[in-house]
Amino acid sequence: MISADICDHIPHADPRWSDFIEAENSVDSLMMRLEDSGSGSVSGSVMISNQLEEKLSFHQQYIDLLRQTHVWELLQSSTSNESRLPTRLILCEHIEKLLACLSLKKLQSRFGAIIEQTMKQVLQKRNLATKLENSHLTNQDLFYSKATKVDDFFWELIDLEQKEMNLDHSNPDENLIIAVTDIITNVFGEICLYRQTNGSIYGSIIIADCDFIVWNSEQHHSGIRDCWVKQLDFFVRCFQIDSTLSAISVETDDERWNQIGQRLNDLTDIICDNFVLQLKYLTEGNEKHSTLRRQFESIRSKCLESLLRIKQYNRVALLAEKYEDFDILIKLCEETDNQDQLNHYTKRFECKGFSKNLFEWYLKEGKQAKMLSSSTISSNDDLDEFLKNHDTLKWLHQLHIKKFSEASQTLEKLSSLEDQCPQRRKTMISIAKLASLASDHSSPNTNFDDQLRLLDYQLNLSDEILKKNSLERNSMKVLKPRNLIEILISGDDNRPNEDLLNFKSALDIVDILRKYETTELIKELELLIWRQAFQKDDWHLFNTDSPDVYIRRSFIFQLALSYFSKFNIRYRIILD
């Protein structure tokens, strides 16, 4: 590919390279003409930086030629590292790698030792170090000549750090970590800026779901981003920016943490920008996009959490706004107690679901009360929508905004589902009744009273009868009416008066059920109760000489007398 040949061109005019020219033999006729058409500045004394500048200029001329001849519009896709990519993206990557070389060259005055050491290791792995023997060429000459492989340098930097950290895991070299971070952020910061200002030139018809990964290679298929993420891990570990970090240490050395924060900010920006770029080339919603999106959100959160931990609030805000990390924006507002800023974000990101994200965050953090109490008129509709699937909170919001009828209906629904705790169910029904009374509905819901009476019968069961039926008051579930009746008539022989009241309560429950159950079931329950009441007495001791006395003393007679008295019915016992 001509573009790659330009980037990796050996300077023919530099006599030091004469021994390599025939061996490499990689320069095509176009590159020769471009060099010959130069101003004659290419010579053996030209600095490496000038040679890189010329390569950049030659590459731009090549792009201009493609555009002027209208070949540019015809470019489709090319194969790079076994991936099919838009050709313009490959050309853009070559420009970026030339810019990286130039940036590295400029940084050698600051980080000369580290850069030289790393370059030497790269050349050794390429088996080129021996070619420097009996040659006037330097490590820099050989390294910068292969601009398309400049990414090897950054992976070697990471390996260098890894070795240092393995030697002294508990006390890593902060100066080395800072230096490597500065090199990475300086180089790729310039590349990000170039992409932002010139990206439209390389705009291309996106190949659906192409395997576009920034600066991937045969050795590193995942691309250069993994290198940055590893550097982020080293940085966080080195300065112990984790949950163990003391807030006091951050506050007492503000200047130091500000410098650390700036580096962490720059590294985060580069990583997130790269994710956003790659996501553009994937169809939203498919598996690749979803997987990458989750990875992006995870790393984005980790980066911004670290900045938040060292109280870099302004930097956190700018990055979280730029990359739309709503959770971090919410945490920032919570930590700084800035409700006005939170309201600002709610309006600014209204179309992107910020309100829903805010409500979900409140739920996750157990701050339901704040979610309900801080809602404004403008956010009520959003909260209404969000709470559609959260009935346990919806009724509170409905009460808050004075929708009493809706609150009553929600509570009635919740109470019907509550079968674990009778007291909780009673509370729900009681509030539902009050809400119904407070609404504009003139006719009260009598069902509430019936439900409350049933629950009262259960809640007032004596300890003795609970024990007899192997029930615990604190763990007892809501009983179905038939089960409650069976427990009430199970009998308490030691306390006959209470036993009589229990049977009467069972009959009262049947009266409540008449409005809701079939006639057949009502008759069945009545028969069950009266039969059990009849069996409470020892009828084999019945004295036929004075039957009225025995009958009047019987349990079933006392129950009938007590139960039917509420109907104001007078009974006369006729005995033959």
151-167 and 174-198 helices cross at what angle (nearest 10)?
160
Per-residue pLDDT band at 260 (split at 50, 70, 90): very high
At 2-31, the pLDDT tens digits run: 999 999 988 877 777 776 665 555 444 444
3-class secondary structure, 453: helix
Listed residue (351, 417, 310, 307) closest to 329, CA to CA:
307
The torsion region of residue 81 among left (phi > 0), alpha (psi -120 to 50) and beta comes to left
Does pLDDT of 488 surpass 80? yes
Per-residue pLDDT band at 567 (split at 50, 70, 90): low
Contact 218, 98 (CB under 8 A): no
Res 165: pLDDT: 86
- State which H helix or E strand residue 83 sits in: strand 83-86
Res 39: pLDDT: 40
Res 379: pLDDT: 67
Does pLDDT of 176 surpass 90? yes
- Lowest mean pLDDT across 139-153, 203-217, 441-455: 203-217
Contact 217, 81 (CB under 8 A): yes
At 528-560, the pLDDT tens digits run: 999 999 888 777 776 666 677 777 878 888 898
Does pLDDT of 63 surpass 70? yes
**Mean pLDDT across 198-226:** 76
Phi, psi of 155, deg, nearest 5: -65, -35
Does pLDDT of 472 surpass 90? yes
Listed residue (466, 457, 535) closest to 502, CA to CA:
457
Res 280: pLDDT: 86
- Lowest mean pLDDT across 211-215, 241-245, 280-284: 241-245
Res 487: pLDDT: 94
Res 29: pLDDT: 45
Per-residue pLDDT band at 208 (split at 50, 70, 90): low
At 382-396, the pLDDT tens digits run: 888 899 889 999 999
At 408-422, the pLDDT tens digits run: 999 999 999 999 999
Task: In whole angstroms, give the CA distance from residue 404 to residue 571.
Answer: 48
Res 62: pLDDT: 93
DSSP state of 194: H
List all residues 6 or more positions away from 340 whose beta carbon is below 8 Å from its beta carbon: none
At 421-432, the pLDDT tens digits run: 999 999 999 999
Does pLDDT of 271 surpass 80? yes
Res 242: pLDDT: 79
**Mean pLDDT across 504-508:** 94
Does pLDDT of 303 surpass 60? yes
3-class secondary structure, 78: strand
Residue 157's Cα: distance from chain center in Å? 32
At 305-340, the pLDDT tens digits run: 999 999 999 999 999 999 999 999 999 999 999 999
- State which H helix or E strand residue 77 sits in: strand 77-80
Res 34: pLDDT: 44
Task: In whole angstroms, give the CA distance from residue 422 to residue 456.
Answer: 9
